A and B are shown apart, each in its own frame.
Chain A
């Protein structure tokens, strides 16, 4: 391919791209462009672009198809949501014993709070306690339990 041939091909690339951009940006029929140097080839390509655009418009779904697929998808959406709620309830046994589960959870939280607030520190426990040199307070244990409980709740919420 000589230098002139290459530049003609590039020119054709640009012209066809510009024509396609114009065709796709407008809803009305676009007039074909003219190029005296390579008219036959360019006209043939422009016709193909116009046919491809028309075929694409024909390929879009009609109203009935849109509705049918939409209804089916929304049913899938609802089914998916029900399944998630059901799995959550099964995991906690809420479906079988909802009152017992809720009361148990509430009692656990109250007990945890009570212990954290009122659990007495051992009298001989040094204020600057270090590992191995005195009785160990249970407060860090309950703090840990509280954090773990919050983490578990957050994890289940995330899973939902």
Chain B
């Protein structure tokens, strides 16, 4: 990073982590630029629009604070996805507590009705897919986000999930079919 001919954008994720741990701010900035789109899109598919920016910010602050704990036992992208998923779970858990505390929980179906109404009003593809996706089983949601948001190839998804490539492609097809059904229901 001190060499003038070395561009942070050319470094691998693990090299960037190494430099960021050494206190190089531009290395961390490059990590941020590299992973923001996937983190933001993942959060956006799982969290109401009004809170997407806050949750994304929390994800990156968590990455910043725990960067020294990353030992390279998994791929850095996997580590980031784990942190993102954990923050999304924390967010929904906090909302359950808040809803219970304010006694709103009895009157609304958590995670569905208020957000769903908001999405349907906007009537764009993103909102319809957000809503449809949230109704799919967790393993269907996971494989769709891994392929579309993280742009992981099928063989990498298979490796991460400990499945054969055929089983992974089959799961993907069933997930797309289920998503298609849900979208159709949303449109009706």
Partner of B173, one of A45, A55, A69, A77: A45
- By the criterion CB–CB under 8 Å, are B129 and A70 in contact? no
CB atoms of A76 and B176 under 8 A apart: no
Task: Report yes or no: A17 in contact with B148, Cβ–Cβ below 8 A.
Answer: no
Question: In the complex, what distance in Å separates the CA atom of A53 from the CA atom of B33?
Answer: 21
Instruction: Give the interface segment out of B40-48, B89-97, B103-111.
Output: B40-48
User: B126 and A55: CB pair below 8 A?
Assistant: yes
A29 within 8 Å of B (CB atoms):
no
Judged by a CB distance under 8 angstroms, whether A157 is at the interface is: no
Stretch at the interface among B4-12, B72-80, B164-172: B164-172
Q: A45 with B36: in contact, given A13-B166, A58-B124, A69-B57 (CB under 8 Å)? A: no
Chain B residues with Cβ below 8 Å from A9 are 170, 173
Contact residues of B between 12 and 35, Cβ < 8 Å to A: 23, 25, 28-29, 32-33
Kindly name the residue among A45, A55, A73 whose own CB sees the greatest number of chain B CB atoms within 10 A.
A55
In the complex, the answer to whether A65 meets B177 with C-beta atoms within 8 Å is no
- Determine chain B's interface SS by DSSP, over half rule: helix
**Number of A residues, CB within 8 Å of B:** 38
- Provide the bound-state CA to CA distance between A69 and B35, in Å: 13
A51 with B151: CB separation less than 8 A = no
B residues 46-62 near A (Cβ < 8 Å) are 53, 56-57, 60-61
List residues 18-52 of chain A with CB under 8 A from any CB of chain B.
20-21, 24, 41, 44-45, 47-49, 51-52
Please tell me if the beta carbons of B53 and A59 are within 8 angstroms of each other in the complex.
no
How far is A24 from B184 in the complex, measured between Cα atoms in Å? 23
B130, B147, B172: the one contacting A13 at CB < 8 Å is B172
Write out, one digit per residue, whether chain A residues 50-64 have a CB within 8 A of any chain B CB (1) or not (0): 011111101111000
Partner of A12, one of B23, B41, B173: B173
In contact, B173 and A60 (Cβ under 8 angstroms): no
Residue A72 interfacial (CB < 8 Å): yes
Distance (whole angstroms) from the CB of B97 to the closest CB of chain A? 25
> How long is the Cα–Cα vector from A76 to B58 in the complex, in angstroms?
11
Q: Give the interface of B toward A (CB within 8 A).
A: 23, 25, 28-29, 32-33, 36-37, 40-41, 44-45, 53, 56-57, 60-61, 64-65, 124-126, 129-130, 144, 147-149, 151, 153-154, 166, 169-170, 172-173, 176-177, 179-180, 183
